[in-house]
């Protein structure tokens, strides 16, 4: 064997290591490449969800307790990157509950539409992937959410959605009590088309 043969073998091995592995067959890519225009991506995602939804929530608490709930809501786009969330009242009629506003640069805020006008959450989107060929989008955001006792939870949320389905996973941690944490999932299925 010539003296160049070991060198050629070493270079071939190095090139093989530098080649990224193929994506496993069972992995389903969701969302296209990251979009630089974050606000357009977010606004399009929210507006595509206009209409009625059946939402289900599951929370896993530090003591091992798992609780769940479900409900119905409607998303109604308004002007200037705003969406009103409607929920059923005691009679079952949908009434405005809160308003979500995108202030730009991925900064969102949800305000209750009652006398107190309290902030429900502040959310900052860090990534947004517009729909891929299948129509599914993906996003990542950070939330600061107030609890009824006045404390706050910091949440990292990863969500996936389409025109008819939505799913997200929240990792939540207390701002002053590290032992206060939870894992929460949200799933949504469209019930009605966009509102007029």
Q: pLDDT value at position 122?
A: 86
Q: pLDDT value at position 194?
A: 60
In words, the CATH class of domain 36-192 is mainly beta
CA distance 83 to 102: 9
Q: pLDDT value at position 120?
A: 80
Dihedral (C-alpha) 143, 183, 117, 177: value to the nearest 10 degrees? -80
CA distance 16 to 192: 52
Q: pLDDT value at position 180?
A: 80
Place of tokens 């006398």: 115
Q: What is the pLDDT of residues 124-152, one digit of tens each?
A: 999 999 888 888 899 999 998 777 677 77
Q: pLDDT value at position 29?
A: 58
Would you say the pTM of this structure is higher than 0.85?
no
Surface-to-core class of residue 180, CB atoms within 10 Å of its CB (0-12 exposed, 13-18 middle, 19+ buried)? middle
Confidence of residue 25 (pLDDT cuts 50, 70, 90): low
**Residue 158 near residue 142, CB atoms below 8 Å:** no
Share of the chain above pLDDT 70, in %: 79
**Average of per-residue pLDDT across 142-164:** 84
If you average pLDDT over every residue of the chain, what do you get?
82
Length of the chain: 196
Is residue 33 classed as helix, strand or coil in its secondary structure?
coil
Q: pLDDT value at position 14?
A: 45
Q: pLDDT value at position 182?
A: 87
* Residue ranges covered by each domain of the chain: 36-192
Q: What is the pLDDT of residues 87-127, one digit of tens each?
A: 999 999 999 999 999 999 999 999 988 867 777 888 999 99
- Would you say residue 157 has pLDDT above 60? yes
């Amino acid at each position: 064997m010539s003296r160049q043969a070991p060198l050629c073998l070493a270079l071939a091995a190095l090139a093989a290591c530098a080649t990224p592995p193929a994506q496993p067959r069972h992995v389903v890519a969701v969302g296209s490449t990251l979009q630089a225009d974050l606000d357009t991506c977010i606004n399009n995602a929210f507006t595509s969800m206009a209409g009625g939804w059946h939402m289900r929530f599951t929370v896993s608490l530090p003591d091992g307790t798992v609780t769940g709930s479900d409900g119905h809501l409607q998303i109604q786009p308004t002007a200037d990157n705003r969406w009103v969330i409607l929920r059923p009242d005691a009679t079952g009629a949908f009434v405005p509950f809160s308003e979500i506003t995108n202030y730009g640069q991925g900064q969102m805020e949800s305000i209750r539409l009652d006398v107190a006008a309290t902030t429900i959450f502040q959310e900052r989107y860090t990534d947004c992937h517009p729909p891929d060929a299948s129509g599914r989008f993906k996003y990542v955001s950070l939330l600061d959410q107030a609890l009824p006792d006045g404390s706050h939870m910091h949440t990292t949320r990863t969500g996936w959605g389409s025109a008819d389905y939505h799913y997200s996973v929240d990792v939540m941690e207390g701002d002053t009590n590290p032992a206060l944490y939870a894992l929460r999932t949200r799933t949504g299925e469209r019930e009605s088309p966009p509102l007029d």
